[in-house]
Amino acid sequence: MVSNSFNIDAEKAKRTVQDALEKKSGGEEVLEEYQTTKTLKHSTRRQLVNIVVSHMTEIHGRIPTRKQRETYALGIISLFPSLKDPFSAKGYEHFYDPEKGTGFISWRLKTLSRKNPKRVRLEMSESGGPSRRRRIDDVQQLEGDACREAISFLVHTADETEVMQKMKETFKHRQELVHNPDRSADVLDVFPRYLDVKGLINQDFALLFNAGTSNKFLKRWETAFKQKIINEAKSLTSTAEIRCLLNAAGGQGSENDWDSDMSSVLLLLHLLPPPPGRKKTKISPTEAIDRLVHFHKSCTSIEGHLSGREGHQPFLLGSGRIKGRIDHFYVVVDKRLIPCSGTSSLSAFDELFKVHYVFNLSYEEALVNFFTFLQTTVYNIDVGLSSESPRVRELRAKLLN
């Protein structure tokens, strides 16, 4: 009975949205584009929302009720099924989330009212993401004097196998350290072997979650995401940088461009640009890339490169003679270099993402959408617990439907 009621509501909502598009200028273009491509470009999606909100306010006034907003959101995904977010409870939360009052419809209504100039900050919910405390298996975890002895032993031993084992046995202590606000910044001083032994970030992340979650990015990017992201990026406004990234992602770049995999990841950042921040100056995707990855020419001083860098959030540093052939990747945390265990750009990005969880570090504000997409959609971490922007949900719907 509940199911039939929901279907009737969905059908009625669908007719409402279709009626709005058929009556309003520009609506037929939206319907035709979807019929032809089975999706909508960003500009067309904005046009759809503008038409729907215009129709809604004409009928229901300047401040439609929660149920009225929800009806239009349901109508949109009923009329355009590929716009439905497969990861959210109702599928239309990126258009209107009744619990949080966010989404494209709410944003458009706020723009029209001009009564709330305060910009919306998109942050990770405390209930999900890197800051979430996770249950740790106590088996083989050292405590008290035994833990202190292991930490002392770690500093001096040259045996990397022993380092890996002792780091595994002190994992619980380390997690307590990084979640202690007074001690979290000390982790690289107490456990300096991150700075010279590769593989420790991957080991900690697998202990925090499991091997399956740890392997998801490297397993799924090439097969499930890369080509779809390249195809989606072709609909972006063409700029010299995007053309360059598209060529490189397609294997047609020069030796002075990032490699194909790195370029595909950077295209994702263009598809999920920085959210509005606390500062009035908007950060462009190009500036956001600068906060994500840096190229260091191996013949120059790496210390000099780091000293001129501001900010505390982790980023990736690729070192080599040319950008297209990186010899070594590092994750930089507080101007200290953690060597990546792999040499590929994908494995380096994998470790950059994991560092946030291993050290309890929040995402760089300009990269929140980018990292949240990777977190929920690729790694499937804290799905439903983390705050996601409508842009993240919209892109997921496009790629997974």
How many residues are present in the chain? 401
Sequence-distant (6+) residues with CB within 8 A of 359 are 178, 184, 187, 314, 333
According to DSSP, the residues that pair with 336 across neighbouring strands are 333
- Which DSSP letter does residue 365 get? G
Sequence-distant (6+) residues with CB within 8 A of 60 are 68
The span from the CA of 253 to the CA of 234, in Å, is 16
Residue 60 confidence (pLDDT): 84
User: Both tokens of residue 165?
Assistant: 């084992």
Neighbours of 329 (CB within 10 A): 26
- How far, in Å, are 78, 224, 347, 378 from residue 219 at the CA level? 33, 9, 10, 10
Model pTM score: 0.81
CB 285 within 8 A of CB 369: no
Sequence-distant (6+) residues with CB within 8 A of 287 are 274, 366
According to DSSP, the residues that pair with 315 across neighbouring strands are 332
User: CB-side exposure of 88: number of CA atoms within 13 Å?
Assistant: 28
Sequence-distant (6+) residues with CB within 8 A of 92 are 70, 73, 74, 76, 77, 84, 85, 103
Match 């990861």 to its residue by tokens. 87
The span from the CA of 32 to the CA of 4, in Å, is 30
CB 75 within 8 A of CB 14: yes
CB 283 within 8 A of CB 294: no
User: Both tokens of residue 222?
Assistant: 């090439």
User: Both tokens of residue 348?
Assistant: 């380096």
Match 């380092």 to its residue by tokens. 163
Match 């770049």 to its residue by tokens. 253
Q: Dihedrals φ, ψ of 339, to 5°?
A: -65, 135
Strands (E), 229-352: 293-297, 315-320, 328-333, 336-339
CB 45 within 8 A of CB 104: yes
CB 40 within 8 A of CB 33: yes
Residue 280 confidence (pLDDT): 52
Q: CA 169, 341, 359, 377 torsion: positive or negative? A: negative
Interior CA angle at 307 toward 302 and 311, to 5°? 120
Interior CA angle at 183 toward 382 and 165, to 5°? 70
Residue 169 confidence (pLDDT): 97
For the chain, how long is the longest CA-to-CA vector? 75
- Which DSSP letter does residue 225 get? I
Residue 303 confidence (pLDDT): 82
The span from the CA of 344 to the CA of 229, in Å, is 19
End-to-end CA distance of the chain: 28
Residue 114 confidence (pLDDT): 62
* Tens-digit pLDDT profile for residues 22-69: 988 899 999 999 999 999 999 999 999 999 999 998 888 888 888 999
Using 50 as the pLDDT threshold, list the residues of the chain that sit under it.
1-7, 115-126
CB 301 within 8 A of CB 337: no
Neighbours of 227 (CB within 10 A): 13
Sequence-distant (6+) residues with CB within 8 A of 265 are 221, 345, 346, 349
The closest alpha carbon to 353, from 129, 44, 183, belongs to 129
Residue 4 confidence (pLDDT): 43
User: Both tokens of residue 4?
Assistant: 């039939």
Residue 124 confidence (pLDDT): 38
